[in-house]
Amino acid sequence: MAKPFKLSVRAVILDEQGQCLLIRRSSACKNFVGQWEWPGGKVDPGEDFVAALVREVREETSLAVEISGLAGATQYEMAKANVILLCLEARRIVGEVHLSDEHDDAEWVPLAQLHQHSLTDQVRTFMLEYVQRRVSEGHE
Amino acid sequence: MAKPFKLSVRAVILDEQGQCLLIRRSSACKNFVGQWEWPGGKVDPGEDFVAALVREVREETSLAVEISGLAGATQYEMAKANVILLCLEARRIVGEVHLSDEHDDAEWVPLAQLHQHSLTDQVRTFMLEYVQRRVSEGHE
């Protein structure tokens, strides 16, 4: 039996200076502890993908965000599922960053400096390719 | 008020010869009549994205398919919504192509010949970029 495909969503929350929010996985996480990621998580069964992203961002960062466009998509394999990861660009509407216990640090990082962080293994290449596209399009 | 973001899904149904299924929009469609596309459509509220794709493919082509991976994602704007389009690679499990009245022709097309068809305007560039990636990865 093939592994099921699950949808996850992550938010590239961009500020006016072209920085995006990275958060660091804490020791409360089962894996990838200490690695940096964009906020997000699984779409629950029956949940709209935008609602899922807004919920995950609020749970993980306390920020209220709105989606502004597509950042891209990638896939990776987990123990029990094939994950399709949809990354969306987002803007903060309101709020200041307050982390849940799943993360222990947050940083607004200029896109061109993303590679200096220890990014989650499965999506590191994808994240850096996104940065390259943005920079080559003159959005940096 | 910004347009809402909606999720659509399309299937790149590949056969053993590296051909994919294209279907042509009939005069029963509101727009893009006569243009060729991959089967698929909107994810209904509360519907799983894989279930939506399997349903749309069955409704439009009578084929039963299973998802095999990610083809890519793109976005475009419609009158009332911003559409995030997730394209997934799929395999036929069983069935022969029988079209609904939304389409009036079907063709298995070698990927390298996709550009010879009049593809739907909004995703033409995306479809051809997908072909380029596949060919450069040696999957053609």
Residue B5, SS3? strand
Closest-CA residue to B88 (of A83, A111, A92): A83
A111: left (phi over 0), alpha (psi -120 to 50) or beta: alpha
- Model pTM score: 0.94
For the segment A89-130, what is each residue's pLDDT rounded down to a tens digit? 999 999 999 999 999 999 999 999 999 999 999 999 999 999
User: Chain A contacts of B82, Cβ < 8 Å?
Assistant: 69
State the best of B43, B77, B84 to mutate against chain A, taking most chain A CBs within 10 Å: B84
pLDDT band at residue B137, thresholds of 50, 70 and 90?
Answer: confident
Show the DSSP H helices in chain A as ranges: 49-61, 124-136
Chain B CB contacts of A7 below 8 Å: 48-49
Candidates A113, A58, A124, A68; CA nearest to A91 is: A68
Interatomic CA distance for residues B96 and B62, integer angstroms: 7
Q: Measured between alpha carbons, how far is A140 from A136 in angstroms, rounded to an integer?
A: 8
Q: What's the complex ipTM?
A: 0.92
Contact criterion met (CB < 8 Å) for B86 and A84: yes
Residues 30-89 of chain A with CB under 8 A from chain B are: 43, 45-50, 66-67, 69-70, 72-75, 82, 84, 86, 88
Q: What is the pLDDT of residues B73-127, one digit of tens each?
A: 999 999 999 999 999 999 999 999 999 999 999 999 999 999 999 999 999 999 9
Interface test with B, best of A86, A87, A123, A130 (most B CBs within 10 A): A86
Rounded to the nearest angstrom, the minimum Cα separation between B91 and chain A is: 13
**CA torsion, ordered B11, B58, A53, A60, to nearest 10 deg:** -100
Q: Which residue has the tokens 């609602």?
A: A51
Contact A67, A23 (CB under 8 A): no
Please list every residue in chain B whose beta carbon sits closer than 8 Å to the beta carbon of residue A2: 66
At the fourth CATH level, which superfamily is domain B5-136? Nucleoside Triphosphate Pyrophosphohydrolase (3.90.79.10)
Return mean pLDDT, chain B.
94
A96: which 2 tokens? 């200041």
What value does the mean pLDDT take over residues B61-84?
Answer: 96
Tell me the CB-side half-sphere exposure of residue A58, using CA atoms within 13 A.
Answer: 11
Write down the domain spans for chain A.
5-136
Given a cut of 60, is residue B140 above it in pLDDT? Answer: no
